[in-house]
């Protein structure tokens, strides 16, 4: 009976464990289609801090992906915890380090940011760069997504050079804490031969010529005006062709920046703001107003003359908040930001005259590597220290929170904006773009990481593979602000939406149809996959005009069964289940 159950479990598991296109970006919708690998019970952590809940495992062509959520309070994955990951990479409990019923080739300690690879004759220390360890989010959370390169040496044993099947345990040490799974032996996983589609590259060209392109970039101790690094920056900015460049960690005087941008873009007129601590803004639009915004001087504010382009001027907040474990300082700055904005709005007490409904963005290196509350304050206006800073205040003009833009790398399903391979910290999201989404619509947006670009794209944009990594530990974040068709005071722009109907008929034979409704033109791709996640056929891949469209899926010699239609562009991804019944 035991044998039979075990056999059945293997069959079901190998059936379920198809790969998935996961983005390590701190958004978790991409896990919706991944079946649960294990569900741990609530309250079984005894003396521990972390109470594990849901657990999922999947893969793409490059990575093994792990998802977990917790019932307990949010915590920081990269620090101040004793959560361990054990991966038996050859599904053999007699190889590697024996732990709770499995033989782990890799033991990774999240809070220590290091690991150990167990081989027959000893141990090898493992750093994040050795296994391409990535995780998200970089702030405290109750759910996490993690990846490790499938071809890492730490996921090999003397009997298995390729990761095909294995087992995973996560547990908080010391004992008495929560183990996932509860039973010895780990949660099994299997890696199939299915190929996961590569991400659709985000081209650098603007979607609409009149979009306003803003680039936010921490330039690493003024490297922008250092001769040794300058060519990297020239290639980066010429490839991105920005209208506004918002700089942090730029401690040198602004005259040099002006001539630099004039030499790089000789046909353009550039305006450079004053230097506020290490924050500077370079713009094709005149700088009408500028000042410090907070007492730490870590946030500046400026008003750019975008009246002709945007129908209104544009406020830019540029922040470089305190780094590292300085949660307190960042929270103070976030609280004061909300308080100052409230006073400006309510009592006209601010750095310059504020016109109602002026679009604004708040960008920069926020250094958010600790408590999530700092982000909550900066987006929702939830002040932590109300005794000092007064009442909470909704930041957007329509009384709602402002939006936090999640972007991925132009050529990879990754969202990190900071990376320094010789730090003990693995890459993280430190750079933010927040914006008043009641009056601003976004167009294209991405993170530039030249290391993740293919050689054809690098050549096309005149970039060197090391440009982003060698110029700064931060990647440029790119936001195109879409020019609305009609902007007036109090008017709000409906966010871009794609409505996708349920397939009809379903079940179907010989064909089923999906209706899509677009409120603006967009590029869309739709592919069909079988139950094992294997690519079956391409339905469409083209630019669609705004309006209604139909996507048809015809049964051309396919067998009866479940199929998935995946509709996606760079911003959305929907998967629809259909049943072919002959």
**Beta-strand relationship, 360-365 and 403-404:** unpaired
Nearer to Ca ion, 77 or 338 (CB): 77
Sheet containing 63-70, strands listed edge to edge, beginning at the edge strand earlier in sequence: 38-39, 52-59, 63-70, 143-149, 134-136
Q: How far is the CB of 14 from Ca ion (least distance, A)?
A: 19
Q: Is the dihedral of CA 559, 560, 562, 565 positive or negative?
A: positive
Cβ-based neighbour number of residue 153 at 10 Å:
15
Nearer to Ca ion, 40 or 335 (CB): 40
Residue in 112, 27, 22 with CA at minimum distance from that of residue 64: 22
Residue 376: which H helix or E strand, with range? helix 373-380
Residue 232, C-beta contacts closer than 8 angstroms, at least 6 positions apart: 464, 466, 467, 468, 470, 471
Q: How far is the CB of 471 from Ca ion (least distance, A)?
A: 27
In a 3-state reduction of DSSP, which class is residue 271?
strand
Q: How far is the CB of 381 from Ca ion (least distance, A)?
A: 26
Question: Which tokens hold the place of 266?
Answer: 């000789």
Nearer to Ca ion, 344 or 406 (CB): 406
Scan residues 258-297 and list those touching Ca ion (CB under 5 A). Answer: none
Phi, psi of 445 (to 5 degrees): -155, 145
CA distance 444 to 58: 29
327-347 and 373-380 helices, crossing angle to 10°:
10
Q: How far is the CB of 23 from Ca ion (least distance, A)?
A: 4
Q: By CB under 5 A, which span of 24-32, 75-83, 324-332, 364-372 interacts with Ca ion?
A: 24-32
365 near Ca ion, rule: CB under 5 A? no
Nearer to Ca ion, 59 or 179 (CB): 179
CA distance 30 to 23: 7
Q: How far is the CB of 61 from Ca ion (least distance, A)?
A: 17
Q: How far is the CB of 416 from Ca ion (least distance, A)?
A: 12
Question: Which tokens hold the place of 540?
Answer: 């469409």
Nearer to Ca ion, 41 or 546 (CB): 41
Q: How far is the CB of 140 from Ca ion (least distance, A)?
A: 17
171, 84 contact by CB (below 8 A):
yes
Q: How far is the CB of 158 from Ca ion (least distance, A)?
A: 10
Nearer to Ca ion, 49 or 540 (CB): 49
Q: How far is the CB of 511 from Ca ion (least distance, A)?
A: 33
Question: Which tokens hold the place of 553?
Answer: 């899926």
In a 3-state reduction of DSSP, which class is residue 575?
strand
127 near Ca ion, rule: CB under 5 A? no
Nearer to Ca ion, 63 or 393 (CB): 63
177 near Ca ion, rule: CB under 5 A? no
176 near Ca ion, rule: CB under 5 A? no
Q: By CB under 5 A, which span of 173-181, 335-343, 354-362, 368-376 interacts with Ca ion?
A: 173-181
Q: How far is the CB of 102 from Ca ion (least distance, A)?
A: 7
Nearer to Ca ion, 28 or 220 (CB): 28
Nearer to Ca ion, 88 or 249 (CB): 88
Nearer to Ca ion, 95 or 283 (CB): 95
Q: How far is the CB of 89 from Ca ion (least distance, A)?
A: 6
Q: How far is the CB of 240 from Ca ion (least distance, A)?
A: 25
CA distance 423 to 413: 22
Nearer to Ca ion, 58 or 331 (CB): 58
Q: How far is the CB of 515 from Ca ion (least distance, A)?
A: 27
**What secondary structure does DSSP assign to 449-513, as a single string?**
-GGGS-HHHHHHHT--TTHHHHH-SBPPEEEEEEPPS---TT--PPPP-EEEPPPBSSSBSSEEE
**Which residue in the shown chain puts its C-beta closest to Ca ion?**
103
Nearer to Ca ion, 141 or 302 (CB): 141
243 near Ca ion, rule: CB under 5 A? no
Nearer to Ca ion, 72 or 221 (CB): 72
- Determine the size of the site formed for Ca ion (CB under 5 A): 17
Terminal-to-terminal C-alpha distance of the chain: 36
141 near Ca ion, rule: CB under 5 A? no
Residue 268, C-beta contacts closer than 8 angstroms, at least 6 positions apart: 261, 262, 284
407 near Ca ion, rule: CB under 5 A? no
Angle CA 229–232–237, to nearest 5: 125
CA distance 178 to 49: 8
Binding string, residues 178-197; x marks residues near Ca ion by CB under 5 A: xx--x---------------
437 near Ca ion, rule: CB under 5 A? no
265, 336 contact by CB (below 8 A):
no
Identify any residues that bridge with 383 across adjacent strands, giving them in sequence order: none
Scan residues 79-118 and list those touching Ca ion (CB under 5 A). Answer: 88, 90, 92, 95-96, 103
In a 3-state reduction of DSSP, which class is residue 388?
helix
Q: How far is the CB of 477 from Ca ion (least distance, A)?
A: 17
Binding string, residues 32-71; x marks residues near Ca ion by CB under 5 A: --------x---x------xx-------------------
Angle CA 531–536–539, to nearest 5: 120
Among positions 23, 140, 177, 520, the unique one binding Ca ion when judged by CB under 5 A: 23
Residue 124: which H helix or E strand, with range? strand 122-126
Nearer to Ca ion, 118 or 360 (CB): 118
Alpha carbon 551 to its chain centroid, in Å, reads 29
Interface with Ca ion (CB under 5 A): 23, 25, 27, 30, 40, 44, 51-52, 88, 90, 92, 95-96, 103, 178-179, 182
């Amino acid at each position: 009976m035991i044998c039979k159950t075990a056999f059945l479990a293997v069959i079901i598991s190998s059936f379920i464990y198809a790969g998935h296109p996961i983005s390590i970006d701190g958004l978790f919708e991409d896990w919706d289609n991944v079946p649960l690998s294990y569900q741990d019970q609530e309250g079984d952590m005894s003396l521990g801090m972390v109470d594990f809940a849901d657990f999922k495992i999947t893969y793409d062509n490059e990575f093994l992906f792990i998802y977990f959520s917790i019932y307990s309070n949010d915590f920081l994955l990269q620090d101040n915890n004793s959560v361990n990951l054990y991966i038996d990479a050859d599904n053999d409990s007699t190889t590697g380090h024996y732990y709770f019923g499995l033989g782990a080739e890799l033991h990774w300690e999240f809070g220590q940011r290091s690991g150990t690879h167990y081989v027959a004759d000893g141990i090898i220390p493992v750093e994040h760069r050795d296994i391409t360890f990535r995780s998200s989010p970089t702030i405290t959370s109750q759910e996490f997504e993690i990846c490790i390169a499938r071809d890492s040496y730490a996921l090999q044993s003397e009997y298995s050079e390729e990761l095909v099947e294995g087992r995973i345990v996560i547990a908080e040490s010391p004992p008495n804490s929560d183990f996932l799974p509860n039973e010895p032996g780990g949660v099994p996983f299997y890696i199939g031969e299915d190929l996961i589609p590569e991400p659709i590259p985000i081209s650098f060209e603007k979607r609409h010529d009149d979009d306003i392109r803003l680039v936010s970039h921490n330039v690493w101790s003024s490297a922008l005006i250092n001769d040794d690094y300058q060519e990297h920056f020239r290639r980066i900015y010429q490839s991105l062709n920005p209208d506004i460049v918002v700089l942090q960690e730029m401690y040198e005087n602004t005259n040099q920046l002006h001539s630099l941008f004039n030499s790089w873009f000789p046909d353009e007129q550039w305006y450079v703001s004053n230097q506020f601590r290490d924050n500077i803004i370079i713009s094709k639009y005149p700088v009408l107003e500028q000042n410090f915004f907070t007492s730490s001087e870590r946030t500046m504010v400026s008003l750019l003359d975008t009246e002709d382009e945007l129908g209104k001027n544009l406020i830019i907040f540029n922040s470089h908040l305190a780094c590292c474990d300085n949660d307190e300082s960042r929270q103070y700055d976030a609280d004061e930001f909300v308080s100052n904005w409230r006073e400006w709005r309510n009592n006209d007490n601010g750095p310059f005259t504020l016109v109602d409904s002026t679009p604004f963005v708040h960008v920069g290196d926020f250094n958010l590597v600790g408590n999530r509350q700092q982000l909550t304050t900066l987006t929702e206006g939830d002040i932590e220290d109300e005794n000092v800073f007064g009442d909470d205040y909704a930041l957007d003009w329509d009384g709602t929170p402002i939006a936090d833009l999640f972007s991925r790398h132009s050529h990879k399903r990754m969202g990190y904006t900071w990376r320094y391979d010789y730090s003990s910290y693995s890459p993280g999201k430190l750079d933010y773009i927040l914006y008043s989404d009641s009056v601003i619509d976004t167009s294209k947006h991405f993170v530039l990481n030249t290391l993740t670009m293919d050689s054809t794209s690098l050549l096309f944009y005149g970039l060197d593979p090391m440009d982003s990594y060698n110029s700064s530990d931060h990647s440029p974040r790119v936001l195109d602000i879409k020019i609305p068709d009609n902007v007036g005071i109090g008017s709000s722009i409906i966010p871009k939406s794609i409505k996708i109907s349920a397939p009809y008929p379903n079940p179907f034979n010989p064909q089923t149809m999906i209706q899509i409704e677009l409120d603006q033109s967009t590029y869309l791709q739709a592919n069909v996959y079988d139950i094992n996640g294997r690519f079956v056929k391409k339905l469409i891949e083209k630019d669609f005009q705004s309006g209604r469209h139909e996507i048809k899926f015809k049964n051309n010699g396919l067998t009866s069964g479940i199929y998935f239609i995946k509709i996606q562009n760079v911003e959305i991804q929907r998967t629809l289940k259909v049943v072919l019944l002959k």
